[in-house]
Amino acid sequence: MNSLDLIRKFRAALPGVQVWIDTLLEENKKQAVPVINLAFSRLQKVFSADLLNNAKAVVVTGKVPFPPLSRMGLPEFAQMETMSMAGITYKDTFFVSYLHQTESLHFHEMVHVVQWERLGVDDFLLAYGVGLMQFGYRDSPLEQMAYSLQEGFERRNLPPGVVDLIRQKTDAIWASVAPRLLKV
Ligand SMILES: [Zn+2]
């Protein structure tokens, strides 16, 4: 299957993915804790109180939730479903494994929260999906950004104005994805 066909299929599956996400978030509403309430003082130096108040974290003891994409007509992503992930973000809420409740992981997921907020649900999913198809998980642009900033966070070597930087980089990623979608 060529990549345009795959993008077309991915787009067709999006409404189902959105329903899956909304159901997941609804089911976990009570367990979701605003990130500002967690004892992570360095996050508060990087992100505004507003952002940390809106963003929520859910700790999970099993696997972090991932949409059953192969059942949604996208068997190409089956490998992602079995991947063991430390954390994952859907809109303003992220899920972290209880084994990985580090400030660094929370930073990584906060980068995704800002990306989701910047792009909105549809465009985030499209940009993320196209990035996955093109580069694989680790090198997909939205992940690559999160991992490289996370490295800066760990080394205490973040550039100033990180949130603005995330927004700018996210816009640039979208600008590179959007022309590909027009051809579909
Ligand atoms: Zn990530």
Task: With beta carbons less than 8 A apart as the criterion, state whether 107 and 46 touch.
Answer: yes
Q: Ligand 1 centroid to 154 CA: how many Å?
A: 15
183 pLDDT band, cuts 50/70/90, is: confident
Neighbour order of strands in the sheet with 56-60? 33-34, 56-60, 93-97, 87-90
pTM of the model: 0.96
- Per the CB < 8 A criterion, the answer to whether 175 and 1 are in contact is no
Whether the predicted pLDDT of 146 surpasses 70? yes
* Spacing, Cα 89 to ligand 1 middle (Å): 8
Residue 181 Cα to ligand 1 middle (Å): 23
User: What is the CA(179)–ligand 1 centre distance, in A?
Assistant: 24
The residues with which 59 forms a beta bridge, in sequence order, are 96
Residue-wise pLDDT for 66-111, tens only, equals 999 999 999 988 888 888 899 999 999 999 999 999 999 999 999 9
Backbone angles phi, psi at 166, to 5 degrees: -60, -45
pLDDT-based confidence at residue 122 (cuts at 50, 70, 90) = very high
Question: In angstroms, what is the span from residue 147 Cα to ligand 1's centroid?
Answer: 7
What is the DSSP annotation of 39-84? S-HHHHHHS-HHHHHH-EEEEESSPPP---TTTTT-GGGHHHHHS-
Q: Give the model's pLDDT for residue 1.
A: 59
Average pLDDT in the chain: 94
